Structure 1
Amino acid sequence: MFNHIKAAIIDLDGTMIDTAPDFLVAINRMREDFALAPLTLDVIKTMVGKGSENLIQQVLSLDFDADGVAARFDDALAAYQRHYLAINGDHSQLYPEVHEGLQAMRDLGLRLVCVTNKPLAFALPLMQKKEISSYFEQVYGGDSFAKKKPDPLPMLEACQALDLSPSQVLAIGDSSNDAIAARAAGCPVLTVPYGYNHGEAVQNIQSDGIVETLLIAAQLLSAKNSH
């Protein structure tokens, strides 16, 4: 399965960068604007991964019914985005062996693309701040295409831009979003065990394997391709 891999599509939040502390600050500043009580990091981690709109929908749903959410949604999303941009990357950090893993993949000759559900306006400056932008030839955000992961569209578009068949492109992520999108697109997929995955066990994800770090993913590919 991993013998003919030419490229990797790698997720951002929960896979390369632990951004939950940034979400915590931005969401609680937004909630303060609306005179709502702060949320804990554990609660927020279960809501991350399906894009900003989904995140704010879930956050408001803790306090309001559907009509209440709808009435406040636009203002809450705007407030959240303003607060997030102000602190983007300040409280987040790279997971272990991310730089080493990305460099090892590049050394294997792999082309790297980042596909995230995070809006591009957040993703690009964050990746620059954490000094991982240079590894990637392209970054696609949650607003790059008509649909986000778990829809396969972003994966298929990335493969098309790479001019590779999905079977030649390995997806790496931390959640069922990544695995479902990759599976539907026809990409092999590996998951990391330390991300968010909506509060569910990573072992429940239908992936082709769990790798402790991106460096171990690169070593796995190296071993498969040396045979």
Structure 2
Amino acid sequence: MTIQAVLFDLDGTLLHTVPDLAAAVNAMLVDLGKPVLSEETVAVYVGKGAENLVNRSLTGSMTEKASPELYAQAMANWQNHYTHINGNHSVFYDGVKEGLALLKQAGFKLAVVTNKPERFTHPLLERTGIAHYFEVVVGGDTCPVKKPDPMPVQHACRLLGVEPAQTLMIGDSVNDSLAANAAGVPCWLLPYGYNEGRSVHETQCDGIVNTIEEAAQRLIGTRTSP
């Protein structure tokens, strides 16, 4: 079945957002009297939503949870800082704007499916000038669950009016591939993002592309080839 729609992850896929996320995390940690973290460490903590980012930053663990009282204080603090920082230092990866333009011009339906809360997703897309490319935006709090659960991917397909088999997910992590595969959506991964410290070459997916522009060219090529 021909691909009609493309779903994109946001952080680590379209935009390098760790500088913003790390700045907000470290402002939070300073306010709490805790040592700051390197951007490299914060990058490993990114991928499963703001709740996990804050917990991991507090505990230094991928799985441990901070006390409810500390977590609540830290989350409110982080949200306050991130609201003001969001987009200040984020940059596009090579080929993103070119790829989005190619796909839009070719008539593909485009959506963002991210674990970032909607209150931060929409301003970031607007601030970076790419909001107009996307017919649908599914944030980390749009559905009751986040990726790697398939529900956000399924929800995006319904809103776009396409079948899963007509849809492609492009992301940078195992969260994207697991969510897409469980929803019956093929998934391509990019090698430059935030796969919780792991190589995408170790992650099961349907293909690896170096840039969004390369992905666009491949998709358009499948439409025009005999």
Mark yes or no: TM-score above 0.5: yes
Q: How much has 1:162 moved relative to structure 2? A: 1.4
Partner of residue 107 from structure 2, selected from 92, 97, 109: 109
The equivalent of 1:91 in structure 2 is 89
Given that 2:136 and 2:160 are in contact with CA atoms closer than 8 Å, whether structure 1 keeps it comes out as no
In structure 2, which of residues 147, 167, 170 is the aligned counterpart of residue 169 of structure 1?
A: 167
Change in Cα spacing, 1:68 to 1:110, as seen in structure 2 (3 Å) is closer
State the secondary structure of the residue aligned to 2:159.
helix
Work out which of the residue numbers 56, 59, 67 in structure 1 matches 2:57. Answer: 59
Shift of 1:15: 0.1
CA contact (8 A) 2:136 2:159 kept: no
Structure 2 unaligned segments of length 5 or more: list them: none
Q: Check whether the contact 1:60–1:69 (CA below 8 A) recurs between aligned residues.
A: no
* Cα distance, 1:211 vs structure 2: 0.6
Q: CA RMSD in A?
A: 1.4
Structure 1 residue 77, shift from structure 2 partner:
0.3
Question: Any conservation in 2 of the 1:172–1:192 contact (CA below 8 Å)?
Answer: yes
Q: Give me the whole-angstrom Cα distance separating, in 1, the residues matched to 2:217 and 2:185.
A: 19
Equivalents in 2 of 1:122, 1:163: separation in Å? 25
Shift of 1:58: 0.9
Aligned with 1:152 (options 143, 150, 173): 150
Q: Partner amino acid for 1:202?
A: V
CA contact (8 A) 2:55 2:65 kept: no
Select 1:131's aligned residue among 99, 124, 129.
Answer: 129
Question: Within 1, Cα distance between the matches of 2:28 and 2:12?
Answer: 22
Aligned AA (2:2): H
Which residue, 45, 48, 56 being the options, matches 1:47? Answer: 45
Q: Which residue of 2 aligns with 1:186?
A: 184
Deviations 1:151-206 (A, max 9, x none): 00000111111121100010000000000000000001111110010000110111
Percent identity, aligned pairs only, is 43
Paired AA for residue 195 in structure 2: N
Deviation at 1:60, TM superposition (A): 1.3
Matched residues, number = 224
Structure 1 residue 15 corresponds to structure 2 residue 13: yes
**Residue number in structure 2 paired with 1:221:** 219
Checking the alignment, whether the CA contact within 8 Å between 1:192 and 1:212 is kept in structure 2 is yes
- Between the aligned partners of 2:96 and 2:53, the Cα distance in structure 1 is 25
Q: What CA distance in whole angstroms lies between the structure 2 residues aligned with 1:211 and 1:6?
A: 18
Per-residue deviation at 1:97? 1.2
CA distance in 2, matches of 1:19, 1:35: 24
Q: 1:203 to 1:76 in 2, by over 3 A?
A: same
Structure 1, unmatched stretches of 5+, are: none
Whole-Å separation in 2 of the counterparts to 1:108 and 1:69: 50
- Return the alpha-carbon distance in structure 1 between the equivalents of residues 6 and 218 of structure 2: 13
The DSSP-based 3-state class of the residue aligned with 1:197 is coil
Contact 2:56–2:65 under 8 Å retained in 1: no
Secondary structure at 2:170's aligned position in 1?
Answer: strand
Whether the 8 Å CA contact 1:18–1:93 is kept in 2: the answer is: yes
Q: Alpha carbons of 1:225 and 1:67: their partners in 2 closer, same or farther (altered >3 Å)?
A: closer
Query: What is the one-letter code of the residue matched to 1:132?
Result: I
SS state at 2:196 partner: helix
**Residue 33 of structure 2: SS of its match in structure 1?**
coil
Q: Summarize the Cα distance change of 1:166–1:77 in structure 2 as closer, same or farther, 3 Å threshold.
A: same
Q: 1:66 deviation in Å?
A: 6.0
TM value normalised by structure 2 = 0.96
